[in-house]
Structures are given as C-alpha cells and as structure tokens.
Amino acid sequence: MISKKWKLSVVMLMGILILSTAYADGNGKHAGHGGHMDHMMKVQNMLKKELGGSYNASIKKATPKELIQGKEIYQKQCAACHGLQGKGDGPLVSALPSKPADFTDPIHSKFYSDRARIYIIKKGIPGTAMAGMEKTLGNKEIRSVYLYIKSLRKCSGSEEDHN
C-alpha cells in the first residue's frame, strides 16, 4: 500500500516537472508585457470563469485554531516551494521552472480573491508547478492553509490585511 506522504511527494514532484510560462523578470519582480502580470491576468480570468458569481464572495475570518492548523500544513506541504515566510524562496525554488508566488508581496497577495486563492490551493494552476491539494487535503484543511497564507501578507495597517 502506498502511503499518503509518498503520494503527496509524487504529486509535488510531478508539479515541479511541468513546464510553465515565464512568471517574472530576472529579478523576480512583476514584469510587464508577456511576463508575470500577463500570466496572472490569464489565471484571474480563468478563475472568474470557474467561480462565477462566487469569485468575490467573502469568507469568514480565521480562528486561532485554523491559523495553527494552516501553519502546520503549510510548513509540511507548501514551504518547500513558497518558503517558511511565504516569500517564494523555498529550498526547491532552484528546481522549479518559475518562481513560486510570494505571499508577502502586496500586489500578488491581493491580486486574486479569497475564493480564487482557495480554488488555486484545491485545484492547482494548469501549466505551472502549483499542484492541487484536493486529493490530500479536505476542504477545512485547504481553508486553514489559505487563511495562514493570507496572514503572511505584509500589513499596510488595515484590518483587512490581517484576516
């Protein structure tokens, strides 16, 4: 019998091996035409189509229990690519075809809606190393991971950044 950890490792490795489009310029910044922002717009349009009217639907504020659970899952399953602090600088980054999302970047972290981010964690992003987690995590776990990721945002002082 194949263990759940082994299956997850295979899924993550497969995701890493997928060819992807260019996400950023050489400095990891948001590129203009043909770069990272163009890709983000395409993904956003796909997500809006997939989620329809629920794209901008609000989600409940995180509970302390959800943040603890989300952090534990994040450290085990996301930090290898996205880094412990969510800066897209995990130990596997050099093996990836493009830089993973920096959840602390103010532009990137707020570009997609909450529902869109949850969908990305659940389903992944086709054509990128971001594999979906729906086969290894339940909906509550996926929500907890997202809420933890959201807590990594650089705070601009508004309460919205901390939810």
Taking only the tens place, the pLDDT of each residue in 74-94 is 999 999 999 999 999 999 999
The residue behind tokens 């901008």 is: 56
Nearest-angstrom CA–CA distance, 88 and 93: 7
User: By C-alpha distance, which of 19, 29, 7, 10 is closest to 129?
Assistant: 19
User: Is the four-CA dihedral 56, 61, 67, 70 of positive or negative sign?
Assistant: negative
> Residue 42, SS3?
helix
Give 128's DSSP letter. S
User: By C-alpha distance, which of 93, 73, 70 is closest to 81?
Assistant: 93
Q: What is the reported pLDDT for 127? A: 81
Which residues of the chain fall below pLDDT 50?
6-33, 156-163
Question: What does pTM read for this prediction?
Answer: 0.75
Domains in the chain: ranges and CATH: 4-162 (1.10.760.10)
